[in-house]
Structure 1
């Protein structure tokens, strides 16, 4: 991987568990959001969590700009069993284009270290004033480049 990977921990909640004792697929998408925020920060204008992100990439967008999810892709490699400790998640930039970028995630079991989930989220900046997608600003492209790695799905 060429760039840096951000390593974060995402809590597993009792309510995330399904009848089989592993994290339900719907809750994996919520955990992806938590990993993204822990790694790269909250979108500008949406508030700030108690802990600072590992790398603050998203809080500097203009007030009239939203950071929107375009697409999620999730591959369940093996069940992520509920544990009373946080899941370990690696997050990096899988690709960056003119008007969107893709973050990649690998979820690992916090006890045995096995890879459980491989996922991506495509994000884009949207102008609420102009009601259109925006190009990724140069300063964000440069910041994303520092965390650019290999695509997760080919």
Structure 2
């Protein structure tokens, strides 16, 4: 990987995340990505999630009424992710910063073998909650994420 900062999030696997084969179910992978995203960039503003101090308070510092909405998920499963009674270490960074959207990249490795199991990207956009109008990424948001901008996982 390039010389950018990566946020490593420890997210526990739950027994209920497992499918009949002992793997983490693909639907649960999306939940794990969401938990890593909130761990790294904060809970959405206005959710009263007090006491959380994310590495980059991107979502928790937006103005009242602003929503960060998922536009797209891209997920590639490179190996099965077996259930383990160990927390996952999910690596997170910004893969692309556009005028009005950003891509968050993730790599999930097996916590026992360190084998890459999932690589994913989520595109998010900020919108004004009342009108649904798309908002541009602010200079402050660009400053917050600048050290974490790295390569895209999907060309």
Q: State whether residues 93 and 144 of structure 1, in contact with CA within 8 Å, keep that contact through their aligned partners in structure 2.
A: yes
Q: Tell me the alpha carbon deviations over residues 66-99 of structure 1, each in whole angstroms, 9 at most, x when there is no partner.
A: 0111100000000110001111110000000000
Are positions 1:62 and 2:63 aligned together? yes
1:81 alignment counterpart: 82
2:8 alignment counterpart: 7
Name the TM-score, length of structure 2 as normaliser.
0.95
The answer for unaligned runs of 5 or more in structure 1 is: none
Structure 1 residue 146: Cα displacement: 1.5
Instruction: Map 1:13-24 to 2 at 5 A.
Output: 13-24=14-25
Give the direction of change, closer, same or farther, for the CA distance of 1:81–1:49 in structure 2 (3 Å limit): farther
Q: Tell me the alpha carbon deviations over residues 37-80 of structure 1, each in whole angstroms, 9 at most, x when there is no partner.
A: 11111111123165432322211101110011110000000011
1:121 alignment counterpart: 122
Q: State whether residues 106 and 121 of structure 2, in contact with CA within 8 Å, keep that contact through their aligned partners in structure 1.
A: yes
Q: Over aligned residue pairs, what C-alpha RMSD do you find? A: 1.2
Q: State whether residues 8 and 39 of structure 1, in contact with CA within 8 Å, keep that contact through their aligned partners in structure 2.
A: yes
Structure 2 distance, partners of 1:137, 1:87, is: 32
- Dislocated runs of 4+, deviation >4 Å: none
The answer for unaligned runs of 5 or more in structure 2 is: none
SS of match in other structure, 1:105: strand
Name the TM-score, length of structure 1 as normaliser.
0.95
Give the direction of change, closer, same or farther, for the CA distance of 1:63–1:51 in structure 2 (3 Å limit): closer
Are positions 1:107 and 2:99 aligned together? no
Structure 2 distance, partners of 1:112, 1:51, is: 30
Q: Tell me the alpha carbon deviations over residues 124-149 of structure 1, each in whole angstroms, 9 at most, x when there is no partner.
A: 10102332111011100111211100
The number of equivalent residue pairs is: 154
Structure 2 distance, partners of 1:69, 1:121, is: 7
